[in-house]
Structure 1
Amino acid sequence: MSTDQIRVFLVEDDWAWIGMVREALAADPTYQFLGHLPSRAALDEFLAAHQPDLAIVDLGLSRPGAGLDVGLERFSEAEGLPVIDQISVRCSETVVVALSGYFLSHPYLVWEVMNRGAVPIVKQEGPVGPEWGHWLRGQLHAAYYEYWRPSPAIERLRYGLEAARPAEALPLTPRQLEVARLYADGCSVAQIAACLCIDEDTVRGHIAKIHGRLQVRYSWQMTARIKHHWQEVQEATRHLDGQCPPPP
């Protein structure tokens, strides 16, 4: 990640939204708007030339010749998910934000986006102005610096999907289960180290390995996976009950 401006580009074919995003980013010198693409046609060339820090992708992006928008009944024709895949392959360090209103009508897209390591954000409708720009910049800042957490709407959709999804066994060692359980409980790295009598660098190493084994990019994704297997995790780590309470 760059240490100066956050270099952002947009994959969107709605000119109104392009203008809104451009205006929102122009109001904060933290961001540099690199431009937009209306389709995947020149995506590889753009990524190679600019190596952006952050990409905003419209999930409802229409395929060439399919019209301005795909509509609810033809979402399989949209280009948004293939765009995310293409960015992940060409620029693995680029943080991808999927900004869409389709999550509410197509809940499965939450999993499709999160499983790709991208951040799903429900597109906030409303009048364009400073408040909307502040909201967008806040979402992008959280995604880029990895402290983003799912909104209540996304959480409800995700938990509904998890309830209907069979849980697979977690591919973690006993020590990794201990670290994951304490982290998901809200414990800090220092608390986990004290509780397990190991140093903080070892805790961070375990967390990195857990990310790899669960194939997730962010800590909130790791926590979501652990919570999905919470009964299994608790049963395997009963000896930790009450030993490292989360901070108030």
Structure 2
Amino acid sequence: MTAPVRVLVCDDQELIRTGIATIVDAQPDLEVVGECGDGCTAVDLAVRLRPDVVVMDVRMPVLDGIEATRRLAGAGVTQPTKILVVTTFNLDEYVYEALRAGASGFLLKDAPPAQLLHGIRTVATGAALLAPEVTRQLVGRYAARIRPVKGTPDDVPLTPRELEVLRLIADGLSNSEIAATLVISHETVKTYVSRILTKLQLRDRVQAVVYAYRQGLVA
């Protein structure tokens, strides 16, 4: 039997934290190994317990979720922790900074339980998770903060087709949606995505979205 995915739940609101933990623990393939209500404790527990996935709130006391994410999954971390950010889009202005800090994806707090569980399982496999319905709004709203002062699309070492795929990724499209848009096979899209990540030395689709906006590839 495959060992269950070990999950650490971090949220300063006890009701939400308990709700998430209850939903997760009810799944035979998932296991809650710890809970906490602030970012500092989240870092300590993650280092000590080594969960497969940390479900991380953004706004927490002592240490916020962004800095906690950076310490657990940011550049230079030897054994980065997989982090799924859960947030309230209308309130958390810096959620995208959490993705830049190394989070593997994000979901809204009002997402249905099935979507939360899917998100945890997806991130646990090493894949990235973006909520397509809010990706464009979220990134577009804060694009100015992450776009560099210099550099042009001409600096991007991708073919025209790869650039096209990257722009669609940045728009929050899934591989299947990209395949339908470009009228190519799903496997071909996967090949393009793999090439893009390799050429740009990016970890996952989340980083690809950040890269696209920083390079001014998406309006």
The alignment's TM-score, normalised by the length of structure 1, stands at 0.63
- 2:68 maps to 83
Q: Which of the numbers 195, 207, 213 marks the counterpart of 2:196?
A: 207
SS of equivalent residue, structure 1 residue 62: coil
Distance 2:22 2:138 in 1: 30
SS of equivalent residue, structure 2 residue 136: helix
Distance 1:205 1:139 in 2: 21
- 2:90 maps to 104
The residue type paired with residue 82 of structure 1 is E
Distance 2:99 2:10 in 1: 18
Aligned residue runs from structure 1 range 146-225, under 5 A:
146=127, 148-162=129-143, 166=147, 168-170=151-153, 171-173=155-157, 176-178=158-160, 180-181=162-163, 183-184=165-166, 186=178, 191=188, 206-212=195-201, 216-222=202-208, 225=211
Distance 1:192 1:137 in 2: 25
The residue type paired with residue 162 of structure 1 is A
Distance 1:224 1:95 in 2: 17
CA 1:142–1:183: 2 relative to 1, 3 Å: same
The residue type paired with residue 183 of structure 1 is V
SS of equivalent residue, structure 1 residue 32: strand
Aligned residue runs from structure 1 range 1-248, under 5 A:
4-63=3-62, 79-88=64-73, 92-101=79-88, 103-107=89-93, 109-118=94-103, 119-124=105-110, 132-145=112-125, 146=127, 148-162=129-143, 166=147, 168-170=151-153, 171-173=155-157, 176-178=158-160, 180-181=162-163, 183-184=165-166, 186=178, 191=188, 206-212=195-201, 216-222=202-208, 225-226=211-212, 228-229=216-217
SS of equivalent residue, structure 2 residue 107: strand
| Bigger Rg over Cα | 1
Deviations 1:86-127 (A, max 9, x none): 2125564421112121x31343x13312212312322117xx
Distance 1:6 1:149 in 2: 20
Q: Are the equivalent residues in 1 in contact too, given 2:9–2:21 (CA < 8 A)?
A: no
What stretches of structure 2 of length at least 5 have no aligned partner? 169-177, 179-183
Distance 1:136 1:189 in 2: 25
Deviation at 1:16, TM superposition (A): 1.0
- Count of paired positions: 194
Q: Are the equivalent residues in 2 in contact too, given 1:47–1:91 (CA < 8 A)?
A: no
Q: Are the equivalent residues in 1 in contact too, given 2:212–2:218 (CA < 8 A)?
A: yes
CA 1:96–1:210: 2 relative to 1, 3 Å: same
The residue type paired with residue 32 of structure 2 is F
Of all paired residues, the percent bearing the same amino acid is 13
What stretches of structure 1 of length at least 5 have no aligned partner? 64-77, 126-131, 194-199, 232-248
Distance 1:124 1:225 in 2: 28
Q: Are the equivalent residues in 2 in contact too, given 1:59–1:98 (CA < 8 A)?
A: yes
Q: CA RMSD in A?
A: 3.4
